[in-house]
Structures are given as C-alpha cells and as structure tokens.
Structure 1
Amino acid sequence: MSTVRVTHIGGPTALIEFAGWRLLTDPTFDAAGGAYAFGWGTSSRKLTDPAIPADALGPVDAVLLTHDHHGDNLDAAGRKLLASAGTVVTTVPGAGRLGGGARGLGPWASTTLEGEGRPTIEVTATPCRHGPPLFRPIVGDVVGFALRWDGQRHGVLWISGDTVLYGGVRQVADRLTVGLALVHLGGVRFPVTGPLRYTMTARDAVDLLEAVRPRTAVPVHYEGWKHFSQPRAVIEREFADAPPDVRDSVRWLPIGTPTDLET
C-alpha cells in the first residue's frame, strides 16, 4: 500500500507528502484582496487567504507548476517561494521565463526527481487546453502532471492542471492507470468573454472521471477566487447525480488539514 498525505492549501495549491518527499502544486500564497490581470481584458480578485502561509510551509523538494503566467496559479508570494524549492517542473515556455534551472516539459514528456533514501519519482506532463479551441496563443501553455514511483498500489497520482474537457486530456484515460487524481474545477469564465470556459465544469469532470476511473478524485481549484463560477455547492449537486463509481470516488479535503490517501 502506498499512502500520501495531501493538504489542500487553497485554489490549485496542495502539499503532497510521502516517503520523505514534500511536493507543492501551483504556489498561491498572497493574502486575500489582491486584483490580478490575466491579459486580453480578463482579471479577477483573490477572495480568501491561504490556509497555510508560505513562511509556515516548511521545506519543499519540488514545485509542480502547471503554468507560471496566471496569478491564480503562481502569485507574488508563490513566485518568491520558488527560489527555495529544490526543483521546479513546469511548461517549456514557463521554464524559459523562470530560468534558474526550472525543468520544462511538453505533453507526455517526463523527468525524474531523485533524493537519497527516497523513491525516485517519474514526473510526466499530461495535456491541457486552458480555454476554447484556437485560444492557446492567448492563454498560453499549461500542463498537468502524472507522478509514478515504486510501491503505488492503485496507479499514478495525477494532477489535471487548468484545462477544459477535450481530446488531449481524455488521452489520460487511454495511457494511464490513475489511483489518485487532483482535479482542477471551477468552470472559470470572465465577463469580457461571456460563456466561454477556461477550466472544467462539474459536468465535464463527471465525464472525464467516468473515462479515467481513478480510485480517488480530489476537487481543487474551485474556491478562493472571483472568477471561479462553480463553487463547491454547485459541484456537489452535479456529482450527486453522477454514476455511482464516479460519485463514490470523490473525496473533499478540509482546506488546510493534512489528509492521508491511497495511491
């Protein structure tokens, strides 16, 4: 059995601990109240403080950064934290912007994380599309991450990243066996672009989880920001009508509380 401890800090930010490793996803540690521009007239405001401040987090061995260019995935306090992290893994363009030895991965490319006395982790980037078709030049590159190490019982640990439901992300169902999934939701949209979505809705997530069939699915990226149009209550209503295997796989984590999960 392989157990990981996951602490959902808020938004897309989670601390993943196992076998001596401490991995952090999408660092967002700014205080509530700040306004953030995402380009092309889109913007948002942060509504809640992080459950754990950056200076109380402790050491971080690696940051898994789905993308570096939006403040709801990497804000100022999170960017400052990168300097003290052992390794940063992100998109190829993001690694170029960040410098400092950041590792850039395109979809289905892999790298390894190694540490003395700890299992080697294979990190594979998975496809994302952060908005409608043909919007990549506007919204930029995003990836998810699949983590594989010896001893996993149910499959890889998968972080979906900010993505809509499309053929690329559906490839995960064909190429990976997933034990634990952190699924980015929120149904992101902006007044200036009307009904267009930039992350999955709950309905999208049900469709994807039916295909991927993880043992456990943990919703993240659904609270704490004004542009998240589907909060937990909306997502729960959709999940309540999902097929039993999807409904039973969903595990809501108390924000800020370490929770042990199997993978």
Structure 2
Amino acid sequence: MTAISTDRQSFGVGVIGGPTTVIDLHGLRIVVDPTFDPPADYGYLHKTAGPAVPAAALGDVDVVLVSHSQHPDNLDTSGREFAVSSPLILSTPSGAAELGPRAAGLTPWERFSHPSGLTITATPALHGPADEVTPEGYVNCEVRGFLIEAPDSPTVYVGGDNASLSVVAEVARRSPRIDVALLNGGGAHVPSKYDDRPLTFTADRVAAAAEILGSPRVVVAHQDGWQHFADGPADTRRAFHRAGLEAVLRAAPLGSWSISDVTPGNPA
C-alpha cells in the first residue's frame, strides 16, 4: 500500500491514527477529526500512540471535518491547532463557535457547497445509547457525520462518533449510493458514562452498519491508539467475517491509503 504523504491521490481514503483520516477527492484534501498529539493523559482519556503520519507530512489541506470538538480523542491539542490553521472547518454549530472564523456549523442534513463543486451534507449521529437522548436531540454531545459528493467522484459517507443503527438506516435511505463508507468503531466506553455502555459502534455493530449501507467498500477508523477503545482491528475483521461481509472491509494500515485512485460506482 502507498504511504500517505503530500502527494495527492485522484481519490484516496486512509487512516493515520484513532479517528483521524485523510480523504483526497475532487482535487481537494480533506482531513477528518485531526489528532496529532503524542501519547498523553487527558484525565478521563488516555492516548497510547501518536499519529502514523505527522501533520506536517500532509502538506496543504483544503477542508477539515470535525465531528465534534468536545473530546480530545477526536480533536486533541495539536489537532485543534491544525484545524484552525486550515482554510475551512465544517463541524457542529457548537464546535464552529469555538473553532474560529473559518469554521461553519452545520445542522443535520444541512448542505455546504464548496467553490470546487464538491458538496458536504451534515448527517446526524448519536454518540452513545439511544435511551440517553437529551431534549436537544443528542447523546453525550452534539456530533455530526458527513456525506461528501462531487461530480464524477465516488460518494463518501463519514459516520463520525455514532452508535445508532437507526441513524445509518436514515443515511442509507436518503443516499442510496455510497461508494465508500468510513465508519468509526472501537466500542469506545468510559466507566462513568451511561453505565459503561458503548459510545461508538462495537465491532459487531459497525459490521451491521456496513450491511445496512450496502457500500461496496468500508474503512473502519477510531479503533486504535486510545485506552478506552474496547475493540480493535482484529475484532472488526472477525465481526465482518461472521456477518459475511469480509469482502467489503478494506484493510486500514495506519499511515497508508486503504483505497486509492478509483472511479464512482466501482471503488477498488
């Protein structure tokens, strides 16, 4: 596999650690949930590994997607500095309020049109058990996923920190063609929250999400580098095998492109 570097792909998806992912699409470089700190203790969360690719090695970035800004496993100190130095940040309204003038906050199903012709639609996400939804409509904190579309390019769904299969079903209903699904797994859990129940998809549920979406290629991030992840890549592979979906799961070696240079409707 090709290492992620300043060299851009015509289309590429690769994980560099935790939830942090690079997407090259439609001539743009997009970084999802940047986390570039070395191993560190954030109090209730413990980072056990730094990124496979340092921020400086990514070169110029066009868009940063921040699913939520409240948790260091999705936006750590160095990642925040990286985000606010980028030309454009898309996040939640609460995240945009603290990320500066280059940030736009999107509500669920709100659409952002980039001057290049690329569009990014914010999707809902539930960051924890469904029976803990607040009157404001979220669990744990406000979180977004993103649906990325552009002419003559694969459609990419970025799930964000989501534990709800109902949310995935709604995404699948609204967007019947998703060429690549980038899903967060790991079964993240914090003992003090919600009876220690998962805050993100477990391995089995991320496989179920992939089946609902029907995407021909799935990349799973958010399953390494942090102590509060219960499931790792091996658990994910086993779950996809048990579900009969092993063929759609793409290997995600940190720092390399999992998918590169593909065409819409037929991602390699």
Normalised by the length of structure 2, the TM-score is: 0.87
Query: Does residue 62 of structure 1 match 2:63?
Result: yes
CA distance in 1, matches of 2:115, 2:216: 26
Q: Which moved more, 1:126-135 or 1:21-30?
A: 126-135
Q: CA deviation at 1:97?
A: 2.1
CA distance in 2, matches of 1:256, 1:210: 26
CA distance in 1, matches of 2:10, 2:217: 12
Q: 2:159 aligns to what?
A: 160
Q: Could you say if the C-alpha distance between residues 126 and 100 of structure 1 is closer, same or farther in structure 2, counting changes exceeding 3 Å?
A: same
Deviation string 1:6-27 (CA, Å, 9 cap, x unpaired) is: 2311111111113421110000
Q: Helix, strand or coil for the counterpart of 2:156?
A: strand
CA distance in 1, matches of 2:165, 2:255: 31
CA distance in 2, matches of 1:102, 1:215: 32
Q: 1:180 aligns to what?
A: 180
- Preserved CA contact (<8 Å) 2:181 2:210: no
Q: 2:6 aligns to what?
A: none
Map 1:234-249 to 2 at 5 A: 234-243=235-244, 246-249=245-248
Map 1:72-221 to 2 at 5 A: 72-115=73-116, 120-132=117-129, 133-136=131-134, 139-152=140-153, 156-176=155-175, 177-193=177-193, 194-221=195-222
| Aligned positions, number | 248
- Preserved CA contact (<8 Å) 1:156 1:180: yes
Normalised by the length of structure 1, the TM-score is: 0.89
Deviation string 1:88-143 (CA, Å, 9 cap, x unpaired) is: 0001111112231311111111101224xxxx111001110001233556621001
Structure 2 unaligned regions, length at least 5: 1-8
Q: 1:53 aligns to what?
A: 54
Q: Which amino acid letter does the alignment assign opposite residue 21 of structure 2?
A: A
Q: 1:20 aligns to what?
A: 27
CA distance in 2, matches of 1:217, 1:28: 21
Q: 1:40 aligns to what?
A: none
Backbone CA RMSD of aligned residues: 1.8
Q: 2:5 aligns to what?
A: none
What stretches of structure 1 move > 6 A for 4+ residues in a row?
none
Q: Which amino acid letter does the alignment assign opposite residue 148 of structure 2?
A: L
Query: Does residue 36 of structure 1 match 2:29?
Result: no
- Preserved CA contact (<8 Å) 2:26 2:150: no
- Preserved CA contact (<8 Å) 1:60 1:84: no
CA distance in 2, matches of 1:4, 1:110: 21
CA distance in 2, matches of 1:71, 1:239: 28
Deviation string 1:145-177 (CA, Å, 9 cap, x unpaired) is: 00010013xx52010100102423320111112
Identical positions, percent: 34
CA distance in 1, matches of 2:34, 2:87: 14
Structure 1 unaligned regions, length at least 5: 38-42
- Preserved CA contact (<8 Å) 1:12 1:221: yes
Q: Which amino acid letter does the alignment assign opposite residue 169 of structure 1?
A: V
Q: Which has the higher strand share?
A: 1
